A and B are shown apart, each in its own frame.
Chain A
């Protein structure tokens, strides 16, 4: 099988940044943008929920976990569709595809962030909170100054892993015709018809560099910690 790199080179700019010149970022650039925004949103949503669940075991934690299991019990594609169809129905007006994807990804990933946060807090030695409380700190202070800083530092590799998954999940934006990398690659394939292997292998390679690089970085962080 001859590998024709020509099709890649001819479409390289489109694959990498879409129609940026016309104000429509796409391709790899859009993938990275969506990932960053969703990632930050999922942290902003997930960590506080994790704190809530951890400090209020019992009904609150059960409700939050139940909600998280519900979200993760359906395919991510469905969550994207729900956001795309439900939000306009409830709030009126349309939601652009990219925004739906961002919201859906943030919502979906925040469930995992919440679980990780709870696990990270529980993994800390009991002596930490005992020492803080024994010196007169309130529960809130203990969380803010003693427990959370340690937990977040320990959780960084796990969050990096979640972020790598997030990047892969952005490929689902394909379903709403959002021009991120996978969608764009598919368009090129439909147009040129003759080079599917080259196109999708190249696309895979781009993701590989992005996600693989992140995973490697996350492993380095864990290694440094346990050293």
Chain B
């Protein structure tokens, strides 16, 4: 089995790979931003205390968790995109130099928009559920203590319960964002020029399948590593541990998991 690396590390394949990496990074970023926004919306609905909004959030969650992301993206791209007003679609299809990444990656394309939206919504549903699980793991004594001090329900959520819920659920939440990055590979199905698409392109160009897939794998692993390390730095629980220098007290009871 001969491996010919020069076949993919020179000529058109290199440009394709660059475009692929840029697109993957861009759609991951856009999707992640959407995730944060949509998670806030979902949590607001869930925690509102109104039966109707809670039911809506629950329905959306069940729907998007139990259908494949690929089908969702196909729906957004083929089904929903055409429901946008015609004028808007024309505007999106025009050339916009301000919305083009180096390597000729258009950010305003139906493929990019459908992928970012599909990824963002899908991931938001899972992140919101993780935070909700983190919330129910907070002991009820916490809200009793806060209410006893005169906090409103929203203040209790904002200052006492949600910080703990986020700390509890931080690791799974990081996992969801890393998943988003990996799932961006599905956008190849609608023709987004991300890494997987480009790798297949190279494969059909000069049949260097193994080399191309090896490079693609390396890229995904590298991006995942960097993203993972970066996100770990944001962990609230890790920042909460000042260096125990002088007199460490001996905690008698193991408190709630911080």
**Residues on the A chain within 8 Å of B62, using CB:** 208, 212
Q: Are A204 and B72 in contact (CB under 8 A)?
A: yes
Contact indicator per residue, chain A 76-95, by CB within 8 Å of chain B (1) or not (0): 11100110011001100000
Q: Are B71 and A171 in contact (CB under 8 A)?
A: yes
- Chain B residues 186 to 236 lying within 8 A of chain A, measured CB to CB, are 186, 188-189, 196, 199-200, 209-210, 213, 216-217, 220-221, 224-225
Docked CA distance A164–B62 (Å): 13
Q: Are A78 and B210 in contact (CB under 8 A)?
A: no
Q: Are A207 and B79 in contact (CB under 8 A)?
A: no
Q: Are A200 and B220 in contact (CB under 8 A)?
A: no
Q: Are A203 and B213 in contact (CB under 8 A)?
A: no
**Residues on the A chain within 8 Å of B66, using CB:** 164, 168, 207-208, 211-212, 215
A74 → chain B closest CB, angstroms:
5
- Chain A residues 180 to 219 lying within 8 A of chain B, measured CB to CB, are 182, 185-186, 189, 196-197, 199-201, 203-204, 207-208, 211-212, 215
Docked CA distance A75–B217 (Å): 9
Query: Which of A76, A169, A211 has a CB less than 8 Å from the CB of B67?
Result: A211
Closest residue of A by beta carbon distance from B225: A73
Q: Are A78 and B189 in contact (CB under 8 A)?
A: no
A7 → chain B closest CB, angstroms:
12
Q: Are A75 and B70 in contact (CB under 8 A)?
A: no
**Interface size band for B:** 35 or more
Q: Are A82 and B185 in contact (CB under 8 A)?
A: no
29 residue pairs bridging A and B, Cβ less than 8 Å apart: A1-B83, A73-B224, A74-B217, A74-B221, A75-B185, A75-B196, A76-B182, A78-B185, A78-B213, A78-B217, A78-B220, A85-B210, A86-B210, A89-B210, A168-B69, A170-B68, A171-B71, A174-B189, A175-B189, A185-B74, A189-B78, A196-B79, A201-B79, A204-B71, A207-B68, A208-B62, A208-B66, A211-B67, A215-B65
**Interface size band for A:** 35 or more
A4 → chain B closest CB, angstroms:
13
Q: A78-B185, A197-B79 are in contact. Are A182 and B70 (CB under 8 A)?
A: yes
Docked CA distance A26–B235 (Å): 45
Most chain B CB within a 10 A radius of its CB, from A1, A78, A186: A78
Q: Are A186 and B83 in contact (CB under 8 A)?
A: no
**Residue B108, interface by CB 8 Å:** no
A196 → chain B closest CB, angstroms:
4
Hey, which bits of chain B sit against chain A, CB under 8 A?
A: 1, 62-63, 65-72, 74-75, 78-80, 82-83, 182-186, 188-189, 196, 199-200, 209-210, 213, 216-217, 220-221, 224-225
Query: Which of B65, B70, B210 has a CB less than 8 Å from the CB of A171?
Result: B70
**Residue A146, interface by CB 8 Å:** no
Query: Which of A85, A90, A203 has a CB less than 8 Å from the CB of B71?
Result: A203
**Residues on the A chain within 8 Å of B225, using CB:** 73
Docked CA distance A185–B189 (Å): 13
**Residue A172, interface by CB 8 Å:** yes
Docked CA distance A182–B73 (Å): 11
**Residues on the B chain within 8 Å of A90, using CB:** 1
Q: Are B183 and A196 in contact (CB under 8 A)?
A: no
Q: Are B74 and A186 in contact (CB under 8 A)?
A: yes
Q: A175-B188, A200-B79, A208-B63 are in contact. Are A74 and B182 (CB under 8 A)?
A: yes
Docked CA distance A203–B74 (Å): 11
Docked CA distance A185–B72 (Å): 12
Q: Are B196 and A77 in contact (CB under 8 A)?
A: yes
Q: A1-B83, A74-B221, A182-B74 are in contact. List 18 more A-B contacts (CB 8 A).
A: A73-B224, A74-B182, A74-B217, A74-B220, A75-B220, A77-B186, A78-B196, A81-B200, A81-B209, A85-B213, A89-B210, A169-B68, A171-B68, A175-B188, A189-B74, A207-B66, A208-B67, A215-B65
Q: Are A200 and B196 in contact (CB under 8 A)?
A: no
B9 → chain A closest CB, angstroms:
19
A20 → chain B closest CB, angstroms:
22
Q: Are A182 and B220 in contact (CB under 8 A)?
A: no
**Residues on the B chain within 8 Å of A215, using CB:** 65-66
Q: Which 7 A-B pairs have the closest CB atoms?
A: A196-B78, A197-B79, A75-B185, A171-B68, A200-B75, A211-B66, A168-B68
